[in-house]
Amino acid sequence: MDAQVSSPVAAFIADLAEQGIHARVNGPAVVYEVVAVTGALAGQSVSTAVSINELGGWPAAPPHWIHFPANVQFASTNTDLIDCLEGWTRHSRDIGNWSMDRPAIANWLAHVRGVLGGVSA
């Protein structure tokens, strides 16, 4: 792993690996794939990412923004392009209470999959 990757980023990537998900640092973000379980993309593998800058509190605190390629659309969303890869958009999503009674990565992946359930296109 790159020597410039912080411990929380390395921990996030390692936690994803424990779930069988390959992740990599790509510029300002950690990129990985998840399978949508509900919604318009159910059963499909979807690229997603999180800003490296938002992983400083991992695993005690979750990131707030979820990045998707620009073709992943929601009926209602708050977006911006900060720390995004070209052709990507980040979406504001509050995870709510951050439970520590199970692995943080399980909470995060459930959150991302739940958000994917709201994809409209």
- Confidence at residue 96, expressed as pLDDT on a 0 to 100 scale: 83
CA distances from 111 to 3, 68, 73, 94, 96 (A): 29, 14, 17, 9, 9
Q: What's the token pair of residue 118?
A: 């709201």
Q: Is the pLDDT of residue 2 over 70?
A: no
Could you read off the pLDDT of 10-43 as tens digits, one per residue? 999 999 999 999 999 999 999 999 999 999 999 9
Do 89 and 68 form a contact (C-beta atoms < 8 A)? yes
Q: What is the CA radius of gyration of the chain?
A: 13
Residue with the larger pLDDT of the pair 113 and 1: 113
For residue 121, give the 3-state DSSP assignment: coil
- Confidence at residue 104, expressed as pLDDT on a 0 to 100 scale: 95
Residues listed for the chain: 121
- Confidence at residue 3, expressed as pLDDT on a 0 to 100 scale: 46
